[in-house]
């Protein structure tokens, strides 16, 4: 079964399963079930079993899943058993927070370069990485063979930055700017949309 | 049909539909279809129709959906036709970026108070709001009848902050700290997990 036969919405749930399994492993849990995973995540056990069945047979009838094994298989499927170099564009408050964010390393990502257009920021060292002039983005992204980027610039600059990233060979963009960006079909974009997360919760309020 | 009969995973897709419809309306589009929405979002048209059918009949056979009408109905369902006051805890880089984030107002949220424990930050004015001593959190959250909060503190403090928020009556928490937080069953938590978004894309790379 090739990747494009599996719905993207299924792929989108795998990191959620991986996160839950990682927490379970940290808690010392060795065995889990689709029921237990489902209760933690608010997803039906049938959905979890169906999602995982796209990729193989991970559990044993009656004994459930080995937590560490399933975690490692999901890492392999999502290709994060390796570490992906990431370019971060925009060294404002958000860029600063992301440069120091502790959640990337264990999940397969490392910010290896930061770009900004502010002469006062260019040349600064951040967590061991230098802030580089955005004019050098095409060259640096190609030299370092970076395929993954994070946009943390104001909305007004986001499309221009996205165009430059695509031109330089980036294939996956995580966009923090609250604006839709247009990219060619072979480039993927995900949005960090805190308001959408809040809306998912206000549905239940009152 | 009461809310707890509709799967949370369906609720989680409504803000995504709302975002796409909002973009469409801004583009001047008046009519859309489940096919068109699905192509934009990488979700099957059958899934979209099934999700929406939980809440009523929004389209006309053969003519599709009125963009502005469906957008407004989704706002009503998600209870974001109003504006929810939000408490932001943690005024570091991330808190600073969130205080200035332009994506909340149009989506039904307004940060009305910021909390921090740093004496140098307490009393500062940020986008018209004051940074308040976190010791006053219980009192202020109750006085302002705030039900929604954002955690933007380091992981080591996140559970302690969550406990204080729950104690003060908060029912919905958006957590930026890369750590699982435990809350009572009547409180909802959503996680901002940029690495999970990146993992959803690396699946497709190479």
Indicate the burial class of B55 (C-beta count within 10 angstroms; 0-12, 13-18, 19 or more). middle
Nearest to B15 among A86, A109, A199 (CB): A199
pTM, two decimals, is 0.89
Asked whether the beta carbons of residue A103 and residue B204 sit closer than 8 angstroms, the reply is no
How high is the pLDDT of residue B39? 86
How high is the pLDDT of residue B60? 76
Cβ–Cβ under 8 Å, residues B150 and B86: yes
Helix axes B8-26, A194-202, angle to 10 degrees: 130
Asked whether the beta carbons of residue A193 and residue B103 sit closer than 8 angstroms, the reply is yes
- Among chain B residues, CA nearest to A17: B196
Query: How confident is residue A4, by pLDDT bands cut at 50, 70 and 90?
Result: low
Helix axes A45-53, A8-26, angle to 10 degrees: 110
Q: What's the mean per-residue pLDDT of chain B? A: 93
Assign residue B127 a region: left if phi > 0, alpha if psi is -120 to 50, beta otherwise? left
Q: Which structural domains are found in chain B, ordered by start?
A: 3-76 (1.10.10.10), 84-195 (3.40.50.720)
Percent of chain A beyond pLDDT 90?
83
A1 to chain B, minimum CA–CA distance in Å? 14
Nearest to A203 among B11, B19, B44 (CB): B11
Assign residue B145 a region: left if phi > 0, alpha if psi is -120 to 50, beta otherwise? left
pLDDT at A39 over 80: yes
Residue A180 backbone dihedrals phi, psi, to 5 degrees: -75, 135
| Residue B1 at interface with chain A, using a CB cutoff of 8 Å | no
Which residues are within 8 A (CB) of B26 and not within 5 positions of it... i.e. 6 or more apart?
A: none
Percent of chain B beyond pLDDT 90?
83
Note the helical H segments in chain B.
Answer: 8-26, 34-41, 45-53, 67-77, 93-99, 137-143, 155-167, 194-202
pLDDT digits (tens, 9 = 90+) for A95-154: 999 999 988 999 999 999 999 999 999 999 988 899 999 999 999 999 999 999 999 999
**Interface mutation vs chain A, best among B17, B112, B202, B206, most A CBs within 10 Å:** B202
Q: Please name which of B177, B146, B147 lies closest in space to residue B160, comparing C-alpha atoms.
A: B177
More confident residue, B26 or A62: B26
Spatial distance between the Cα atoms of A54 and B38, rounded to a whole number of angstroms? 21
Written in H, E and C, the secondary structure of chain A is CCHHHCCHHHHHHHHHHHHHHHHHHHCCCCEECHHHHHHHHCCCHHHHHHHHHCCCCCEECCCEEEHHHHHHHHHHHCCCCCCEEEEEECCCHHHHHHHCCCCCHHHCEEEEEEEECCCCCCCCEECCEEEEEHHHHHHHHHHCCCCEEEECCCHHHHHHHHHHHHHCCCCEEEECCCCCCCCCCCCEEEECCHHHHHHHHHCCCC
pLDDT at B57 over 90: no
Cβ–Cβ under 8 Å, residues B67 and B56: no
More confident residue, B6 or A87: A87
| Residue A25 at interface with chain B, using a CB cutoff of 8 Å | no
pLDDT at A46 over 80: yes
Written in H, E and C, the secondary structure of B161-186 is HHHHHHHCCCCEEEECCCCCCCCCCC
Structure tokens given for B26: 């801004």
Side-chain half-sphere CA neighbours of B152 within 13 A: 25
pLDDT digits (tens, 9 = 90+) for B82-101: 999 999 999 999 999 999 99
Side-chain half-sphere CA neighbours of A6 within 13 A: 20
How high is the pLDDT of residue B44? 86
Please tell me which of A4-13, B59-68, B187-196 the model is most confident about, judged by mean pLDDT.
B187-196
Q: Tokens 């309020």 appear where? A: A205
More confident residue, A163 or A7: A163
pLDDT at B168 over 60: yes
Cβ–Cβ under 8 Å, residues A25 and A71: yes
Helix axes A34-41, A45-53, angle to 10 degrees: 110
Cβ–Cβ under 8 Å, residues B26 and B35: no
DSSP for A141-165? HHHTT--EEEE-S-HHHHHHHHHHH
pLDDT at A3 over 70: no
Q: C-alpha angle with apex B199: A150 to A99, nearest 5 degrees?
A: 35
A176 to chain B, minimum CA–CA distance in Å? 9
- Residue B192: list chain A partners with CB under 8 A: 192, 194, 197
- Residue A3: list chain B partners with CB under 8 A: 203-204
Q: Please name which of A162, A99, A157 lies closest in space to residue A131, comparing C-alpha atoms.
A: A99
Q: Tokens 């030299």 appear where? A: A143
- Residue B16: list chain A partners with CB under 8 A: 196
pLDDT at B123 over 70: yes
How high is the pLDDT of residue A1? 42
What is the ipTM, given to two decimal places?
0.94
Spatial distance between the Cα atoms of A122 and A115, rounded to a whole number of angstroms? 8
Q: Tokens 């299924």 appear where? A: A10
Q: What's the mean per-residue pLDDT of chain A? A: 93
Q: Please name which of B145, B85, B91 lies closest in space to residue B112, comparing C-alpha atoms.
A: B85
């Amino acid at each position: 079964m090739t990747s494009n036969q599996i719905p993207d919405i299924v792929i989108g749930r795998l990191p959620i399963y991986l996160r839950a399994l990682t927490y379970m492993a940290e808690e010392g849990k060795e065995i889990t079930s689709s029921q237990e995973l489902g209760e933690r995540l608010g997803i039906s056990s049938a959905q979890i079993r169906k999602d995982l069945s796209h990729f193989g047979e991970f559990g044993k009838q009656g004994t459930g899943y080995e937590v560490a094994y399933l975690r490692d298989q999901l890492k392999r499927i999502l290709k994060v058993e390796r570490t992906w170099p990431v370019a971060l564009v925009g060294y404002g408050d958000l860029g600063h927070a992301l440069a120091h964010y502790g959640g990337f390393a264990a999940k397969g990502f490392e910010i290896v370069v930061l770009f900004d257009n502010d002469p006062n920021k260019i040349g600064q060292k951040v967590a061991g990485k230098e802030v580089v002039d955005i004019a050098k983005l095409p060259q640096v992204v190609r030299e370092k063979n970076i395929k993954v980027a994070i946009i943390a610039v104001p909305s007004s600059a986001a499309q221009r930055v996205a165009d430059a990233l695509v031109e330089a060979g980036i294939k996956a963009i995580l966009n923090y700017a609250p604006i839709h960006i247009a990219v060619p079909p072979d480039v993927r974009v995900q949005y960090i949309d805190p308001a959408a997360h809040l809306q998912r919760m206000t549905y239940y309020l009152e």
